[in-house]
Amino acid sequence: MNELPTAFFVEYPFRIEDLIRPHLSEWVKPYIVEKEIRLGKIDYENFITDLCVDRWFIEKYTNLCSIDENGVWHCVLVRQKGKSEGVLVMSEGRVFPKWAAYLPSEEVAE
């Protein structure tokens, strides 16, 4: 079995800056991207500047976000169209990111 990628997940982040700071090692979790969501520039900027707001694109895929019995985080990946960086969202049944992780460009597979 291939080793899964890992990311630093932050609980209840407010802005993308909360995701791009030093993190505790226990916040590193293995993940699987269940769905990729591509947003336009304005929608993506709106999303990353206020992660606490309910979002239709998270509500639509809350059923895909969970932590399985092996501790693997099943997430949706939100990206801006034309960009490769993104934000992993594990909503845990909510319509906003309860948990989120930033993925820089070089870590996001095309």
What's the pTM?
0.88
- pLDDT tens track, the chain, 110 positions: 458 999 999 999 999 999 988 777 777 899 999 999 999 999 999 999 999 999 999 999 999 999 999 999 999 999 999 999 999 999 998 999 999 999 988 654 44
Domain coordinates in residue numbering, the chain: 6-16+25-107
**Degrees to nearest 5, angle at CA 19 with 15 and 23:** 140
